[in-house]
Amino acid sequence: MNGPALIVLFSLVAYPIGYSFWVSLHQQNLKRPDDTRFIGLENYFALWRDPTFLSSLRTTGLFVVLVVSMTVVLAMILALVLNESFLGRGVLRSLALLPWAMPGVVNGLMWRTIFDANTGALNGLLTDLGLIDSYQAWLSSPSGAFFLTAFAQVWNTLPFAVILLLAGLSTIPSDLYDAAKVDRAGVFQRFRQITLPWLLHPLLIVLILETMNAFRAFDTIYVLTGGGPGDATSIIAVLNVRTALTYTDFGLGSAYSWVITAFTLIISVGYVAALYRKGSFEV
Amino acid sequence: MTTPNVPPPDVRPPRPRPSRPRRAVPLRYRVPWKKIVVYTLAAFLVLYLVLPFYWIFAMSFMREVDAISVPPNWIPPHPTLDNYLSFLRPDESQALVGGRAIRETPFALGNSMIVASATALLNLVLAVPAAYSFSRLRFTGGRLLLIGYLITRMVPSIAIIIPFYLMIRSMGLLDTYWALILSYLTFSLPVTIWVLKDFFRAVPRELEDAARVDRCGWFRTMWSVFLPVAAPGLVAAAVFSFMTAWSEFMFALFMTSTEAAKTIPVVAANFATDMNTQFTLMAAAGVVAVVPPLILVLIFQRLIVQGMAAGSVKG
């Protein structure tokens, strides 16, 4: 019964995957079509000598950590609030999914109008609140651009994490909490000893999916900063696209892609191993 | 004499009494801390989630002058539908500054609709049998196959975009719906299979056994017993693949070049990269790009969470 799916996937994916790995072992640049030759792992070695790559690796690391930690904390708060019963919960539940409906490109577009140096809402809001005296060019400073890009990315990917955590929360039997209340466990104790252990699995899924997403973040950054100013927001995925599609350096670009793949695989294997040891993972 | 029912005191020592004395007045007013915290957090979250979108929403109903004023107008002072209407018939000045993107928006919306729906539908058709086999049968290589599906998902789309482009070109499918539908299948199908597999496992086997006792064939059993029970999972999976397809940008950028198949993110990016574009038109395009998937999400909100709860969260 796997036939149809297998045929479709295999015929669509197998060749491109194999081909791109093959290309990553070549010197192949559209700008120098005559100079295409097999060079083994040279592209990969070249990456490690390239200061642009090394600095983007640092940027990517910071970006991933920042985005993932902000997403997890915010999503946890949002999911916990949504799990309580209060007036207007249905409305908030629906609103929580709003950013999910927004394509990454549109997300970048939206935040660009908000962060705009001359007319942006952020400047307007902060001035109205009396927090700043004059309009700031937020996206022109490297650190400002970096943090705001991460912020915009978090807004976009938050709902997915919330859905997973909320689904996890809904599977916790409520009598556990009743029992804990009888034992006079405080709010934080209940969270640490009941909620967190039950949420371990969805939390790990959130961690890995958001890490993968952050590693590949491109759409929002492309529209918001294009990787700049300088290389402040040039995370590895942005560099990958630039190398492969703008500089048409297919060989090096493919090597980039496989480095991203390797990172993703390592993280996923770590995740599966962690779950497997806990005995809660079966395929 | 003690009654035999009373347990000896050393087996169950009495709980140490809390040192605090009991409250003398049980009906004293207590500050509802929990309520206060929940409502405060909820209010902040509403602002966080809604304000950014509200900004482009409000902007899309403004005239350009009002949109770029300092200090900003939080409410459109002269509300107008002109920005939306210009997608249908751009006037001369608009045609000059951002004409192509404006004219292409309605087409792109239609294209996105068709491509995303077809992707969702094909995903279900292909993934249901595969997921069913994983949830009910044990077969050699099953685990390996399942992990294999997942691994195809690990390769970033930028890795396969060039060979995929060459493949699609040689099939003569560039700038068609199929180019996009096929490429979106590559990354949504593995996820769909995984989500559905977990969901199907949660459906009790007894249902199918009962149907078989009633002499239902396999297809009847699937169609009228199994799939209806699994409906939340199907809906969740379909919505997920719809959203992926709706938002995808890179493949759409490279596989399409005209309004025959360009999708809404591609056109939206044109608004962003064109320095002349008016803010208000850009905002209107953004709103238009969000509304269809938003409606979908709102309708199926309950089923999505339910589907996830029964499915992948348990693993």
What would the pLDDT profile of A26-61 be if each residue is shown by its tens digit?
Answer: 888 877 777 778 888 888 888 888 888 889 989 999
Q: Cβ of A85 under 8 Å from any chain B Cβ?
A: no
pLDDT at B21 (0 to 100)? 56
CB-CB under 8 Å, A8 with B130: no
pLDDT at B2 (0 to 100)? 45
Cα(A224)–Cα(A217) distance, integer angstroms: 12
Which candidate from A1, A119, A265 shows the least CB-CB separation from B70?
A: A119
Identify whether the C-beta of residue B76 lies closer than 8 Å to the C-beta of residue B66: yes
**Please, which pLDDT band fits residue A175 given cuts at 50, 70 and 90?**
confident
CB-CB under 8 Å, A283 with B55: no
CB-CB under 8 Å, B156 with A119: no
Kindly state the average pLDDT of the residues A74-82.
93
Rounded to the nearest angstrom, the minimum Cα separation between A185 and chain B is: 13
Run of H or E including A26 = strand A26-27
Run of H or E including A27 = strand A26-27
If you measure CA to CA, which chain A residue comes closest to B36?
A: A86
Identify whether the C-beta of residue B294 lies closer than 8 Å to the C-beta of residue A98: yes
Collect all residues of chain B within an 8 Å Cβ-Cβ radius of residue A171: 309, 313-314
CB-CB under 8 Å, B315 with A124: no
Cα(A239)–Cα(A224) distance, integer angstroms: 15
CB-CB under 8 Å, B133 with A216: no
b/e map of A40-77 (b: 16 or more CB within 10 Å)? Answer: eeebbeebeeeeebeebbebbeebbebbbebbbebbbe
pLDDT at B1 (0 to 100)? 43
What would the pLDDT profile of A9-25 be if each residue is shown by its tens digit?
Answer: 888 888 888 888 888 88
Collect all residues of chain B within an 8 Å Cβ-Cβ radius of residue A258: 159
Q: Compute, in degrees rounded to 10, the torsion defined by CA atoms A144, A149, A150, A156.
A: 150
If you measure CA to CA, which chain B residue comes closest to A82?
A: B42
pLDDT at A115 (0 to 100)? 93
Which candidate from B71, B243, B314 shows the least CB-CB separation from A100?
A: B243
The amino acid that residue B27 corresponds to is L
Which region holds residue B141: left if phi is over 0, alpha if psi is between -120 and 50, else beta? left
User: What are residue A27's phi and psi, to 5 degrees?
Assistant: -85, 115
Rounded to the nearest angstrom, the minimum Cα separation between B127 and chain A is: 6
Run of H or E including A38 = strand A37-38
Query: Which residues of A, range 126-155, sit inside 8 Å of B by Cβ?
Result: 127-128, 135, 155
pLDDT at A184 (0 to 100)? 81
b/e map of B230-255 (b: 16 or more CB within 10 Å)? Answer: bebbbbbbbbbbbbbbbbbbbbbbbb
Collect all residues of chain B within an 8 Å Cβ-Cβ radius of residue A94: 297-298, 301
Strands A26-27 and A37-38: antiparallel
Average pLDDT over chain A, rounded to an integer? 86
pLDDT at B123 (0 to 100)? 94
- Look up residue B265 and give its two tokens: 């993110």
The closest alpha carbon to B179, from B241, B110, B114, B128, belongs to B114
CB-CB under 8 Å, A16 with B167: yes
pLDDT at B118 (0 to 100)? 97
What would the pLDDT profile of A91-142 be if each residue is shown by its tens digit?
Answer: 888 888 899 999 999 999 999 999 988 888 899 899 888 888 888 888 999 9
Cα(A138)–Cα(A69) distance, integer angstroms: 22
3-state secondary structure of A129: coil
CB-CB under 8 Å, A111 with B126: no
What averages of pLDDT result for each successive group of 10 residues across chain B (315 residues)?
51 57 61 88 93 93 86 88 84 63 88 96 92 83 80 79 86 92 90 84 81 80 83 88 93 89 90 75 91 90 74 49
The closest alpha carbon to A39, from A18, A23, A62, belongs to A23
Run of H or E including A37 = strand A37-38
User: What are residue B276's phi and psi, to 5 degrees?
Assistant: -85, -15
